[in-house]
């Protein structure tokens, strides 16, 4: 490995305010999917709720990455 190659365990650089808005956007999309799922039948509703749950997990993961300046 050369000296300018990235380390295998390099730390993630997080810019103030960049991650949290993404988390809020994803959470908003998940909520919209849940509202929509209430109006669709059967297996489609189950699939939409599952996707909303996945998005909520992503949104939750985005929150703690926000760092203070």
The residue among 63 and 59 whose pLDDT is bigger is: 59
pLDDT tier, 9 (very low <50, low <70, confident <90, very high otherwise): very low
**What are the pLDDT digits (tens) for 26-60?**
788 888 888 988 888 899 999 999 999 988 888 77
Length of the chain: 69
The residue among 8 and 62 whose pLDDT is bigger is: 62
pLDDT tier, 23 (very low <50, low <70, confident <90, very high otherwise): low
Give the dihedral of Cα atoms 6, 9, 13, 18; nearest 10 deg: 120
**Within 13 Å, how many C-alpha atoms sit on residue 35's CB side?**
6
């Amino acid at each position: 490995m050369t000296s300018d190659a990235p380390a295998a365990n390099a730390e993630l650089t997080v810019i103030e305010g960049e991650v949290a808005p993404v988390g809020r956007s994803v959470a908003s999309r998940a909520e919209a999917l849940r509202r929509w799922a209430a109006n669709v039948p059967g297996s489609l509703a189950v699939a939409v709720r599952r996707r909303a749950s996945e998005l909520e997990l992503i949104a939750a993961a985005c929150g703690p990455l926000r760092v203070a300046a």
